[in-house]
Amino acid sequence: MFDAIATLLSSDALYDSAFQFSVLFAFAASGEWVAERAGTLNISVEGMLLGGAFGAVVGHQIAGSAIVGLLVGALFGLLIGSVQANLSHRLTANQFVVGLALNVLVLGLTAYLDSSIGFDPARAKVIEVPGLVDLPLIGSAIFGRPWPAYLVYPLVPLLWWAVFRTRWGLEVRAVGENPQAADVSGIDVNARRRQAIYITGITCGMGGAFLVLGQVGTFQSGIVNGRGFIALAAVIFGGWTLRGTLIGCVLFGFVEALTLSIPANGYTIDPFILKAAPYIVALTVVLVFATRVRQPRALAQPFVRGLT
């Protein structure tokens, strides 16, 4: 038993795929965190990731470059985000209904287009950080990645700075805590919420593009496969703080990686437990942390002036 754990923990592959998934979750969850601080429980993360992944192969196909792929991926994510934002925070349609319909739409649309067009494989170049890449175990996992992975490092501090150190960020947090008070003090509540969702769209689009360019290399319609919902759980796990959210991303990344590396190392665990593990862990985590921390007070509550 302890042997097995030791073998697992000393395999490079575990850290490699754990980091891989953590980066994906970090892209998605950090953007989702902004939307949730503004008061939207945005369940279209799944669709945004898938849209970003699809955008990446489209961009790569057109221009033959991974940079364009990433940009088109972010653009597709933004596009889905703007539909979500404008339907739920301009037209007051229910945010869950919109998110769900968008997830279905993106899944159907990308699967349909993928089957009727067909794309070349799209991969980004690996950039190795000299010296650090030779570190044992984690060296190549962290410092020998395709370049889109490194974008997560500037992205997260940037989001932190935007939310905690700018006027815009203060307004975003105000809108998520008490939209009525924010409205009275002259903040355009629904505009801030829409902008927060645009940011989610961009980061999830980048995350989806990373999934294709930096991990899988092609587009498949099952490429995201519910991981967007795990990113949602990571935000709850983090108690709506950015630091906690990132810890959640790493935790879920390791759980996902273990489900891959346990069979790869020749150990047999029931496949049911392996496949269900990320979701069971997410459920447990949500269960433990849901009431212990304070969520944004107006989370998932629409704002219509004069009605609330």
For other proteins, which residue of 125, 165, 243, 305 counts as binding (CB under 8 A)?
305
Answer positive or negative: Cα dihedral of 88, 196, 48, 60.
positive
Distances (CA, A) of 274 to 230, 251, 278, 282: 15, 15, 8, 13
Q: What's CA 113's distance to the chain center, in Å?
A: 23
Q: Based on CB atoms, which residue is closest to other proteins, 1 or 307?
A: 307
Instruction: Based on the shown chain and the rule CB under 8 A, indicate whether residue 94 belongs to the binding site for other proteins.
Output: yes
Instruction: Based on the shown chain and the rule CB under 8 A, indicate whether residue 113 belongs to the binding site for other proteins.
Output: yes
Cβ atoms of 39 and 303 closer than 8 Å: yes
Instruction: Based on the shown chain and the rule CB under 8 A, indicate whether residue 220 belongs to the binding site for other proteins.
Output: no
**Stretch near other proteins under the rule CB under 8 A, chosen from 11-19, 69-77, 245-253, 284-292:** 284-292
Q: For residues 195 and 202, what is the distance between their CA atoms, to the nearest angstrom? A: 11
Instruction: Based on the shown chain and the rule CB under 8 A, indicate whether residue 62 belongs to the binding site for other proteins.
Output: no
| DSSP SS3 for 126 | strand
Report the nearest approach of other proteins to the CB of residue 213 (Å).
24
Instruction: Based on the shown chain and the rule CB under 8 A, indicate whether residue 43 belongs to the binding site for other proteins.
Output: yes
Q: Based on CB atoms, which residue is closest to other proteins, 2 or 272?
A: 272
Instruction: Based on the shown chain and the rule CB under 8 A, indicate whether residue 270 belongs to the binding site for other proteins.
Output: yes
In the region spanning residues 231 to 260, those forming contacts with other proteins, defined by CB under 8 A, are 232-233, 236
Q: For residues 208 and 222, what is the distance between their CA atoms, to the nearest angstrom? A: 12
For other proteins, which residue of 97, 264, 269, 293 counts as binding (CB under 8 A)?
97
Report the nearest approach of other proteins to the CB of residue 268 (Å).
13
For other proteins, which residue of 8, 67, 68, 100 counts as binding (CB under 8 A)?
100
Nearby residues of 113 by Cβ (< 8 Å), 6 or more positions away: 54
Q: Based on CB atoms, which residue is closest to other proteins, 130 or 268?
A: 268
Q: For residues 236 and 250, what is the distance between their CA atoms, to the nearest angstrom? A: 14
Nearby residues of 303 by Cβ (< 8 Å), 6 or more positions away: 39, 89, 175, 179, 180, 183, 189, 190, 193
**Stretch near other proteins under the rule CB under 8 A, chosen from 5-13, 24-32, 109-117, 138-146:** 109-117
Q: Which two tokens stand for residue 95?
A: 């945010």
| DSSP SS3 for 65 | coil
Instruction: Based on the shown chain and the rule CB under 8 A, indicate whether residue 1 belongs to the binding site for other proteins.
Output: no
- Report which of 166, 149, 169, 217 is spatially closest to residue 33, judged by C-alpha positions: 169
Q: Based on CB atoms, which residue is closest to other proteins, 20 or 195?
A: 195
Instruction: Based on the shown chain and the rule CB under 8 A, indicate whether residue 96 belongs to the binding site for other proteins.
Output: yes
Instruction: Based on the shown chain and the rule CB under 8 A, indicate whether residue 109 belongs to the binding site for other proteins.
Output: yes
Instruction: Based on the shown chain and the rule CB under 8 A, indicate whether residue 268 belongs to the binding site for other proteins.
Output: no
Instruction: Based on the shown chain and the rule CB under 8 A, indicate whether residue 128 belongs to the binding site for other proteins.
Output: no
The amino acid at 18: A
Cβ atoms of 42 and 200 closer than 8 Å: yes
In the region spanning residues 139 to 178, those forming contacts with other proteins, defined by CB under 8 A, are none
Q: Which two tokens stand for residue 105?
A: 């739409």
Q: Which two tokens stand for residue 41?
A: 């429980």
Binding site for other proteins (CB under 8 A): 41, 43, 83, 87, 89-94, 96-98, 100-102, 104-105, 107-109, 111-113, 115-117, 180, 183, 188, 190-191, 194, 226, 229, 232-233, 236, 270-276, 278-280, 282-283, 286-287, 290-291, 300-308
